[in-house]
Amino acid sequence: MTDTIENVIIIGSGPAGYTAALYTARANLNPLVIEGFAWGGLLQQTTEVENYPGFREGIMGPALMQEMRDQAERFGSRFITDMATKVELADEPGGVHKVWVDEDELHLARTVILAMGAEHKKLGVPGEEELGGRGVSYCATCDAAFFKDAETVIVGGGDSAMEEAIFLSKFAKRVDIVHRRDEFRASKIMLDRARAIDNIVFKTPFVVEAFEAREGDKLPTARLRNVETGAEELLANVGTFIAIGHEPQSSSSPGRSTATTRATSSRRAARRGPTARACSRPATSSTTRTARRSPPPAPAVSPRWTRSGTCATPRRCRRRPGCPTATWPRRSGRPGRLMAAYRR
């Protein structure tokens, strides 16, 4: 355990983490970055990046992340190439937060920035890891230009899969959308746009069983299986893009403690404000600057419901007439939650 209290600890080392490190370092906050073992984020798995401003000839993904890291380090950022295992936030505003590296190394900080990012969901089939970046990709926007006039496959059935297929169709000779059901989760407008493109073909109900590298082919072979009949089909020499969503890295690392959950809940409750009472002034009343400073006295009669607002408490209240807790939903002609609770 260290007795030094850091100004800022940043957990994560993708573009977001290194950008946070750069800005806090230039503000003389001397940030400490816990970057993990696989530093650099998803761009470490990308080949040539051509759509990042400032590099007109393009730049390799790992080289870009090295440039970001070096730039943050130049202004005083410090790095720990290890995993953050637990975060315990302070209960009180302005308190000291705790971050553990491994299980026994404790760091204290006044501010913690979580920038773990997300990771592409994977199919988990044989050959996927081995052929990643060599015919199996997760970003058509990044890699579509490398598959010009090639036959390609999109795996997925949501809006992101349709967007990937539409973009990829501008480069590839053919795009097969492989989905395990005949129905798609994508919105109707995205589905119609994809179906209107001639070189996009829908292949259902199929799932990918494996990716295989075959001698003489530049791209892998995708082995598919029909989920209804069990029949297998091979798509040889195809580039595959997997678009089945993302998984936020904050869900698994670092783990949050009970104190963290309690502190977060209390802060959210503070932001929402009091929920036991609504405005004591009818929402239809006219408001002037003087009226806002000196609210009218409490009503002598019981609270009443009107079509445009409610007065659910006899107490004095300095909230404005537009208070969102006066009635919900507003202008709906129905009593709000607070008024219904009062009547019970």
Locus of tokens 């798995």: 45
Per-residue tokens: 223: 């082995």
pLDDT band of 165, cuts 50, 70, 90: very high
Per-residue tokens: 151: 């036959």
What would the mean pLDDT of 79-104 be, rounded to a whole number? 90
pLDDT more than 90, % of the chain:
49
CA distances from 257 to 90, 91, 99, 180, 330 (A): 11, 12, 11, 39, 38
Residues marked active site are found at 139, 142-143
What would the mean pLDDT of 132-158 be, rounded to a whole number? 90
Q: Read off the pLDDT of residues 210-227 as tens digits, 9 standing for 90 and up.
A: 999 988 889 999 999 999
Q: Read off the pLDDT of residues 179-189 as tens digits, 9 standing for 90 and up.
A: 999 999 999 99
What would the mean pLDDT of 233-246 be, rounded to a whole number? 92
